Amino acid sequence: MRNLILIGLLFSLSLFACEKAPEAPTQEEVESFLLSPSPGETFRRGEAIQIQANFSAEDWEMHGYELYVLDTSNYDLLFSAGLHTHEGLLEIDTSWVYTDSLSRAAELEIRCYIDHKGNYVQQIVPITLVP
């Protein structure tokens, strides 16, 4: 009986000693490619801003993206979009038309979520918006 308890204890310890496999890629394992807009690009009122980017992580599922266009002087939100998905390749292809009559220094921020804990990789692109 004593040997049986000892074997059970050793088996239990071996289970706890195993490292749990990671559930998501690390930020370094995610490749990101911003296709448009280009950093520093200027857009006029009424012009469509094409937002295209790819995020990929070989052998992993990512959990979606969020994108924001923010006025950098006061961080007003000018545009946002997002998608919750489970894909190894996230292809972002959306557009937005600037309709305001103010000149603004802005930034496009794209967050690609790599897990359900809120971890993400991001791309930030400065752009200029003019009337």
Q: How confident is the model at residue 125, as a pLDDT?
A: 96
Give the mean model confidence (pLDDT) for residues 71-75.
Answer: 95
Classified as helix, coil or strand, 80 is strand
Residue with tokens 């959306």, as numbered in its chain:
94
Q: How confident is the model at residue 22, as a pLDDT?
A: 56
Q: Which residues, listed in sequence order, are joined to residue 49 by a DSSP beta bridge?
A: 96
Instruction: Give, for 15, the enclosing helix (H) or strand (E).
Output: helix 2-17
pLDDT bracket for residue 15 (50, 70, 90):
very low
Residue with tokens 């289970």, as numbered in its chain:
15
Contacts of 8 (CB under 8 A, 6+ apart): none
Q: How confident is the model at residue 26, as a pLDDT?
A: 73
Residue with tokens 């309709």, as numbered in its chain:
99
Q: How confident is the model at residue 88, as a pLDDT?
A: 83
